């Protein structure tokens, strides 16, 4: 199963690299979003709290514009039935999840670098906490986005519906991650952030479990 | 029939007791409520606001259970039951939001201040909204039932974060927040026995009311479908 989902992921990456449509569009989206924020800030010095919030706003919206492609493109190209034939639902979900994880980490590393370059308030004082938040936050984001993307693909690829459905599901994760990012800027020690960290990790575990349980029903619909 | 009379008696008692019983410093007779520092007369909203918030979650649980049942049995009647549960849920969710906001105007000075509890009830409202948006976007009945069942289960597993975890660890204004020393946490119940008793009677009465409304709601939809099939 792992080798099959690995192959599926490689196939997605290859077909993505052939056109580079999603990556180009996403990088441009990030640049546009960040420049809009920078224009609106102007010469103001903004608080670290606000920087943390804006950071996760850009992460959320770039995830919303990029991560639905994994399933929507299969429906558009009409290759869903082929996937039905060659693999079990679990395998397909794993493959798509791997692909979305790679994409999420890729775009969020770009966002983080840009924020570090352009925002004065973005000074990480507790690097290990930031790294752990970043990793678990991205995993949670990828999992929830993937399962909602599969619902969207079946509901007729309604683009506007995707952020609407994902936002309430992602809200506990995003709120906690904003809090953790503020902790990173303040230089709070790891022990003091343990509660918030536990929420993020348990969110990831709950979402991955429920996604694997429910994907069967979505995929066979 | 008996439980309708019971509901009437309970609701009347709760309405009268909740509004009319006085709040005093040291309660000596059974119909007096204790004075809770920081809340005072405002404390009485607990008899009406908390049950609506409670029913919001109960409605969620019901739609999750019937979604699960639908996925197992593929019986469209279960989908109708989940639909009615959510219809009532969104009404109670709006009621909880509005009563909470009005109360907050008097207790905290502003209708809305993004307290963790307000954030969570707002997120629940968003989930309900998203659920109905998803349903309205799908034409085929079976597909709609399956996808909305799946979504209500996914949404339900995030509800504990909103209702139980975030308000308890984040600092906020709502009674029962992490840093609340005067009146909370609510789980410790700084109310006296009479207040507690009326609070629980109110919860029970509102729950019976919910199930009654839900029963009428889904039966009327099923009957309507039956009539449409016959013609």
In chain B, where are the structural domains located? Answer: 45-230
Query: According to the model, what pLDDT value does residue A75 have?
Result: 84
Please indicate if any CB of chain B lies within 8 Å of the CB of A175.
yes
Is A196 in contact with B169 (Cβ distance < 8 A)? yes
Q: pLDDT per residue over A21-56, tens digit each? A: 778 888 999 999 999 999 998 888 888 888 999 999
Please indicate if any CB of chain A lies within 8 Å of the CB of B119.
yes
Q: pLDDT per residue over A92-103, tens digit each? A: 999 999 999 999
Residues of B in contact with A195 (CB under 8 A): 169
Residue pair B177/B167 in contact by the 8 Å Cβ criterion: yes
| DSSP-assigned states of every residue in A104-144 | HHHHHHHHHHHHHHH-TT---S-HHHHHHHHHHHHHHHHHH
Query: According to the model, what pLDDT value does residue B179 have?
Result: 52
Q: What contacts 24+ positions apart, CB below 8 Å, involve A21-29?
A: A22/A66, A22/A69, A22/A103, A23/A106, A25/A65, A25/A66, A26/A62, A26/A65, A26/A66, A26/A103, A26/A107, A27/A107, A27/A110, A29/A61, A29/A62, A29/A65, A29/A66
Residues of B in contact with A165 (CB under 8 A): 130, 133-134, 151
Query: According to the model, what pLDDT value does residue B220 have?
Result: 94
Model confidence at A163: pLDDT above 80: yes
Nearest chain A Cα distance for residue B129, angstroms: 9
Residues of B in contact with A174 (CB under 8 A): none
Query: According to the model, what pLDDT value does residue B171 have?
Result: 63
Model confidence at A172: pLDDT above 50: yes
Residue pair B162/B123 in contact by the 8 Å Cβ criterion: yes
Domain map (residue ranges) of chain A = 2-220
Burial-class residue A121 by CB neighbours within 10 Å (0-12, 13-18, 19+): middle
Please indicate if any CB of chain A lies within 8 Å of the CB of B207.
no
Binning pLDDT at 50, 70 and 90, where does residue A177 land? Answer: very high
- Low-confidence stretches of chain B (pLDDT < 70) are 36-40, 168-191
Is A168 in contact with B127 (Cβ distance < 8 A)? yes
Shortest CA distance from A194: residue in chain B: B169
Q: If you average pLDDT over residues A118-133, what whole number do you get? A: 88
Residue pair A95/A6 in contact by the 8 Å Cβ criterion: yes
Q: pLDDT per residue over B71-130, tens digit each? A: 999 988 999 999 999 999 999 999 999 998 988 888 788 888 888 888 888 989 999 999
CB atoms within 10 A of CB A195: 14
Query: According to the model, what pLDDT value does residue B187 have?
Result: 43
List the single best residue of B150, B151, B161 to mutate versus A (max A Cβ within 10 A): B150
Mapped onto helix, strand or coil, the DSSP state of residue B33 is strand
pTM reported for the whole predicted model: 0.88
Please indicate if any CB of chain B lies within 8 Å of the CB of A102.
no
Sign of CA dihedral A54, A56, A61, A63: positive
Shortest CA distance from B72: residue in chain A: A217
Query: According to the model, what pLDDT value does residue B184 have?
Result: 43
Query: According to the model, what pLDDT value does residue A25 have?
Result: 87
Give the Cα separation of A65 and A60 in Å (integer).
Answer: 9
Shortest CA distance from B171: residue in chain A: A179
Q: pLDDT per residue over A44-91, tens digit each? A: 888 888 899 999 999 999 999 888 888 888 888 888 888 888 888 889
Give the Cα separation of B231 and B226 in Å (integer).
Answer: 9
Query: According to the model, what pLDDT value does residue B153 have?
Result: 93
CB atoms within 10 A of CB B179: 9
Query: According to the model, what pLDDT value does residue A43 have?
Result: 82
């Amino acid at each position: 199963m792992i080798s099959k989902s690995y192959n599926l992921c490689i196939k997605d990456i290859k077909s993505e690299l052939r056109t580079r449509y999603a990556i180009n569009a996403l990088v441009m989206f990030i640049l546009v979003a960040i420049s809009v924020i920078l224009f609106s800030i102007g010469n103001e010095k903004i608080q670290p709290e606000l920087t943390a919030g804006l950071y996760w706003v850009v992460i959320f919206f770039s995830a919303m514009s990029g991560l639905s492609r994994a399933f929507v493109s299969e429906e558009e190209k009409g290759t869903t039935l082929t996937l039905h034939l060659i693999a079990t639902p679990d395998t397909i979900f794993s493959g798509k999840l791997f692909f979305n994880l790679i994409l999420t980490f890729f775009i969020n590393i770009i966002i983080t670098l840009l924020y570090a370059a352009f925002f004065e308030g973005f000074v990480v004082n507790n690097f290990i906490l930031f790294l752990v938040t970043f990793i678990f936050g991205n995993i949670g984001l990828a999992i929830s986005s993937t399962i909602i993307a599969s619902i969207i693909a079946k509901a007729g690829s309604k683009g506007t519906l995707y952020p609407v459905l994902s936002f309430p599901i992602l809200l506990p994760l995003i709120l906690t991650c904003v809090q953790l990012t503020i902790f990173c800027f303040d230089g709070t020690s790891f022990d003091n952030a343990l509660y918030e960290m536990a929420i993020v990790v348990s969110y990831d575990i709950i979402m991955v479990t429920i996604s694997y349980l429910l994907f069967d029903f979505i995929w066979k619909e | 029939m008996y439980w309708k009379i019971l509901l009437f008696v309970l609701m009347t008692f709760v309405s009268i007791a909740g509004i009319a019983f006085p709040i005093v410093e040291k309660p000596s007779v059974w119909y007096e409520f204790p004075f809770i520092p920081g809340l005072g007369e405002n404390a009485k909203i607990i008899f009406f606001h908390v049950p609506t918030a409670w029913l919001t979650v109960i409605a969620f649980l019901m739609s999750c259970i019937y979604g699960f049942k639908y996925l197992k049995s593929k019986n469209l009647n279960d989908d109708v039951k989940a639909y009615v549960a959510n219809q009532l849920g969104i009404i109670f969710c709006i009621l909880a939001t509005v009563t909470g906001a009005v109360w907050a105007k008097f207790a905290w000075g502003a209708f809305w201040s993004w307290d963790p509890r307000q954030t969570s009830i707002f997120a629940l409202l968003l989930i309900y909204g998203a659920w109905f948006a998803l349903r309205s976007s799908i034409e085929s009945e079976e597909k709609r039932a399956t996808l909305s069942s799946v979504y209500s289960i996914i949404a339900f597993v995030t509800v504990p974060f909103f209702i139980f975890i975030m308000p308890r660890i984040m600092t906020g204004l709502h009674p029962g927040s992490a840093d609340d020393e005067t009146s909370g946490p609510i789980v410790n119940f700084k109310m006296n026995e009479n207040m507690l008793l009326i609070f629980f009677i109110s919860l029970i009465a509102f729950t019976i009311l919910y199930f009654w409304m839900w029963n009428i709601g889904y039966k009327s939809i099923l009957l309507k479908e039956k009539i449409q099939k016959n013609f």
